[in-house]
Amino acid sequence: MPVVPSSYRAPPGFSNGHVQTVFAALIRQVNVVTGARKRIEIADGDFLDLDMALNGNRRVAILSHGLEGSSRQTYVQGMARALFRNGWDVAAWNFRGCSGEPNRLLRFYHSGASQDLHVVVDAVLSQRQYERIALVGFSLGGNVTLKYLGERGGELPAAISDAVVFSVPCDLGASAARLASWFNRIYMRRFLRTLAAKIRAKRPAFPAQIDVGGLEDIRTFEEFDGRYTAPLHGFADAHDYWRKCSSRAFLPGIRVRTLLVNAHNDPFLAPSCFPLEEARDSEWLHLEIPLSGGHVGFVSFVSSGDYWSEIRTTEFLEGGAP
């Protein structure tokens, strides 16, 4: 599909990508919608926590959060509220170690953990035979969603009909390099602080496998992923991890109607995170590039309280123009 035109226009004073990113993450408030927690026991001995909002609907949206987020993030609950209001059951899942309780295994989560998304899909279908499933992902969760769709192609569960993803680092290595830039230093510090806390919390259970010496000196994702993410998840190094898990390589395999929205002024995304060629060559992938929006921002001030990303998602899932 050609790149689709965007209807998003930033409110006055919100054209800057950093302003949108910070405002949406730290200022916006949304009440928790997905209040019913279900624990999924995984065959490898670990677990995933799934938070749900159920109203007996025949369709369900599965929401995947971003790096160092959880199902309780404002952007997740804002999307859950909009979808639930429009006749969807909602299942917002937490990546391993992100639900407020450390996971059991040495491994935790990463940008390519698409098998865990498949576990969630199976669990949701086992609870109720939904006629339709939509996948919605944000940032890292969007990368996982696109990878899952592309690597499984036409062998997805038949109920999966659509996907919408926002602010996706389709090229993980390029995005990591961009986040290492001086103008993104505040975000990098925030991510590394919480990731380091997860490593320290996991060490007592795995003292022989986890070394925290010098952890406080790590300043980039290349250093963190090279020392922890890659070896704990079977990759040779950070670059091997990024190469094998970047969703851009999987886009040609997508076989369900999918909308990818990456803002032009997203401070986290490098030029290679805008897959123009893949979108033009695909009949399934719709790429939308608003001029503004920041990273998981897309701030709007409307009477419903919904942000543009939430309005756009509900319209797309109702079969509206791509």
* Alpha helices (H) in the chain, listed in sequence order: 17-22, 74-85, 114-127, 140-152, 172-179, 185-202, 221-224, 230-232, 238-245, 276-280, 308-317
Left, alpha or beta for 214 (phi > 0: left; psi -120 to 50: alpha)?
left
**Residue 295 is among the residues annotated as catalytic for this protein:** yes
d(C-alpha 188, C-alpha 180), whole Å: 7
Catalytic residue among 46, 49, 89, 266: 266
d(C-alpha 51, C-alpha 80), whole Å: 10
| Beta pairing class for 285-288 and 257-261 | parallel
In residues, how long is the chain?
Answer: 322
> Where does residue 144 rank: exposed (0-12), middle (13-18), buried (19+ CB within 10 A)?
buried
Catalytic residue among 139, 246, 282, 300: 139
The C-alpha angle with vertex 311 and arms to 310 and 316, in degrees rounded to 5, equals 100
Catalytic residue among 282, 295, 306, 309: 295
**Residue 49 is among the residues annotated as catalytic for this protein:** no
Q: 202: how many CB neighbours lie within 10 A of its CB?
A: 22
**Which positions are catalytic?**
139, 266, 295
